[in-house]
Structures are given as structure tokens and as C-alpha cells.
């Protein structure tokens, strides 16, 4: 459901909900929900989740990047438009945790924003993608045991 680009981005598109269904060996899998997409999008790894969220920010053009990605092989390949398979089997499993991620800035080759742990209604800010991952891990390492 690509939208026409304008100066303003609807508020709903700025936040993505991440439902984590599995957390093994410090690797996430689950679903991403954002109104920009027509459906919930399945991800099978932490790296895939990060690439999907980064690509979403590129597509809605918010927040704009302050730096281009670097790569050993040249161009950074995009996340496939159709990610893996049908998310229905994921939905039958218990959600370990749900996070609302709001990326406010993409500066210094990283992200800055806020994250809400929906089940506990706890929120905090993050200053980098690494800090975001550590925050998510702090929740899931206690929940997924």
C-alpha cells in the first residue's frame, strides 16, 4: 500500500508494533504491524526485523537518513517485498512480548526513539539500534525462559 509522498507523514505510520513469538539463542521471530502494510509481516530473525523497519522508514521517508548504508559488496539489498510465508501459524502461538517502536531520528548510522513494552505499559528511550536490542533482550531473557 505505498503512499504518495508529501511533507507530512500520518502519525500512525511512525510507530510499528512488533509481536515476538519466539526468542531462541538471542534471536527474535514474530510479526511486524504497521498501517503502511496491508497485512502483518513475518520476520524470522533479529537482522530481518531491523532491515524491515529500516526499509519501512525509507519507504515512508520518515525519519530521513543522515547517512547512507555502507557495505562490503556495494549496494545493500532490500528486504524482499513478500517476507517468507503466511504469518497465520505464528498467530496460533503465544506472544512472548509486544513492543511499540517509534523511531524519531536516524542519525550517526543508527536510530534514536522510544520503545513501549505493551504488556507492562513501560516505556523508555533508546539512543541506538544496539541499545534498542538490549532493551528488548532485557524483557525477553526473563519472559522466554
Domain of 26, in residue numbers: 11-143
Domain membership of residue 113 (yes or no) is yes
Q: Which runs of consecutive H residues, i.e. helices, occur in the chain?
A: 46-60, 88-91, 129-143
Q: Whole-angstrom Cα distance, residue 20 to residue 140?
A: 9
- Whether residue 5 is contained in a domain is answered as no
Q: What is the pLDDT of residues 32-49, one digit of tens each?
A: 999 988 889 999 999 999
Per-residue pLDDT at 21? 96
> Residues 81, 71, 51, 86: what is their CA dihedral angle, to the nearest 10 degrees?
40
Is 15 part of a structural domain of the chain? yes
What pLDDT, in 10s, does the model give residues 49-92?
999 999 998 888 877 676 666 566 766 566 655 444 555 666 67
**Residue 124 domain-assigned?**
yes
pLDDT of residue 9 exceeding 70, the answer is no
Q: Given this model, what pLDDT does residue 38 score?
A: 83
Furthest C-alpha separation in the chain? 45
Per-residue pLDDT reduced to its tens digit, 94-113: 999 999 999 999 998 899 99
Decide: pTM greater than 0.75: yes
DSSP state of 34: -
Amino acid at each position: 500500500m505505498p503512499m504518495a509522498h508529501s511533507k507530512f507523514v500520518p502519525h500512525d505510520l511512525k510507530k510499528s508494533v512488533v509481536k515476538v513469538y519466539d526468542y531462541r539463542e538471542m534471536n527474535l521471530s514474530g510479526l511486524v504491524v504497521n498501517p503502511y502494510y496491508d497485512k502483518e509481516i513475518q520476520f524470522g530473525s533479529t537482522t530481518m526485523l531491523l532491515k524491515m523497519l529500516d526499509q519501512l522508514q525509507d519507504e515512508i521517508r520518515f525519519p530521513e537518513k543522515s547517512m547512507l548504508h555502507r557495505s562490503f559488496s556495494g549496494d545493500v539489498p532490500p528486504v524482499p517485498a513478500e517476507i517468507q510465508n503466511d504469518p497465520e501459524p505464528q498467530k496460533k502461538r503465544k506472544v512472548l512480548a509486544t513492543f511499540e517502536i517509534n523511531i524519531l531520528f536516524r542519525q550517526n548510522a543508527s536510530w534514536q526513539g522510544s520503545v513501549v513494552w505493551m504488556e507492562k505499559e513501560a516505556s523508555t528511550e533508546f539512543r541506538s539500534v544496539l541499545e534498542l536490542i538490549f532493551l528488548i533482550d532485557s524483557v525477553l531473557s526473563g519472559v522466554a525462559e
